[in-house]
Amino acid sequence: MNSRARASLLRLRGLIRKEAWQIVRDPSSILIAFILPLVLLFIFGFGVSLDASHVKVALVVEKPSPQTMRFSSAFEHSEYFAPVHFQEARQAEKAMERGQVRAIVWLREDFSQKVLSGRSAPIGLLVDGVDANSARIVEGYLQGVWQHYLAEEAQSRGVSLTTPVSVQERIWFNPEVRSRNFLVPGLVAVIMTLIGALSTAMVVSREWERGTMEALWVTPVRVGEVLLGKLIPYFLLGMGGMLLTVAMAWWVFEVPLRGSFWLLLLSSMLFLLAALGMGLLISTVARNQFVAGQVAIIATFLPAFILSGFIFDIDSMPPAIQFLTHIIAARYFVAILQTIFLVGNVWVVFVGNALALLAMAAFFMLLVRRRTKKNLE
């Protein structure tokens, strides 16, 4: 190694040590890298659920009978419903207007008579449709309770329940149908966006505010050495946050990891490089902490949260928004995460999305290198 390369290596090591000490002394970096991921994990792991359970349903039975009791017991023994009994439909309607129940199941007084006579016995069903997604879920659960009741009724009579089509259900990849298994892997992308983009943009802009960047430029350091000195510590910090998040997802929230951990590690590195590149690019444009933080949230965190497929299905979005998601790095990472965690090593999914992350990381890094010049302007 010649003297020039040795001097460059010494300068780089000094820059890395400086940045590492700054991270240790700065509580906000530790907060973003380790405390905030834990808070988000506990909120989305325990507090946020797309599942419908213990939904309050009003049961209106105008004339109780053994048939209506069997139907009501199907709700009593269901983990999805918490039935509330009413004698009149008007009372149940008022309860739904006040938001006390989410649906009304109405058995009229001639229900048992029609069932015993073999005639059609209609059931009144009203569902609160303010939240359209929850309304569809509740409606599907109610259909399941109805089918269960029909099967028990046929068994009590010693006959078989005849249907023109027999459906044999099998749920792949998430047999427990837990929304936690879907949300927690995607949350890794949101957390790494915070660590990579937000923390980097804030810290570098803070140095511009304090004047330490100007002091750095008057030294013999090169632009590439400064960028590497910024990237390496925050890259290690981001990977530490990723490992913490994955460990929490596996051991605390019991999300299965069916694919290769090394593929997960590789894709995380590619995404983190893209996030760090976005953070450094923001810091070169906005040299004020407040502005850099706002730009980082709007340009990186919100798109990762809304347009990545983390919560909202991309295929259900309008075509123009679907096209826009292709410039969101988190979209490709979320697809890899959900596949590796729940499905396994699907190479078609991994290779395509990993190449997209590699291209975006290279693009942002090259753009940062072109825009970062050793001057005080």
100: Cβ–Cβ under 8 A, 6 or more apart, which residues? 56, 84
CA distances from 202 to 1, 154, 221, 325, 365 (A): 36, 67, 22, 25, 18
Parallel, antiparallel, or unpaired for β 81-86 and 55-61?
Answer: parallel
Can you say how many angstroms the Cα of residue 67 is from the centroid of all Cα atoms in its chain?
44
306: Cβ–Cβ under 8 A, 6 or more apart, which residues? 312
Q: Which pLDDT band, with edges at 50, 70 and 90, does 169 fall under?
A: low
Sign of the alpha-carbon torsion through 261, 264, 269, 272 = negative
Cα(160)–Cα(264) distance, integer angstroms: 50
Q: Which pLDDT band, with edges at 50, 70 and 90, does 178 fall under?
A: confident
So what's the pLDDT on residue 116? 65
Q: What is the pTM of this model?
A: 0.82
- What share of the chain in percent tops pLDDT 90? 24
So what's the pLDDT on residue 212? 76
Judged against a pLDDT cut of 80, whether residue 110 lies above it is answered with no
The secondary structure of residue 311, as a DSSP letter, is S
**DSSP per-residue codes, 34-80:** IIHHHHHHHIIIII---S--SEEEEEEESS--HHHHHHHHHHHT-TT
Beta strands in 180-274 (DSSP E): none
Q: Determine if residue 29 is left, alpha or beta; phi over 0 gives left, psi from -120 to 50 gives alpha, anything else beta.
A: alpha
- 199-245 pLDDT, tens per residue? 888 777 877 777 777 777 777 888 888 888 888 988 998 898 899 88
List the one residue out of 180, 196, 185, 270 whose CA is nearest residue 240.
Answer: 196
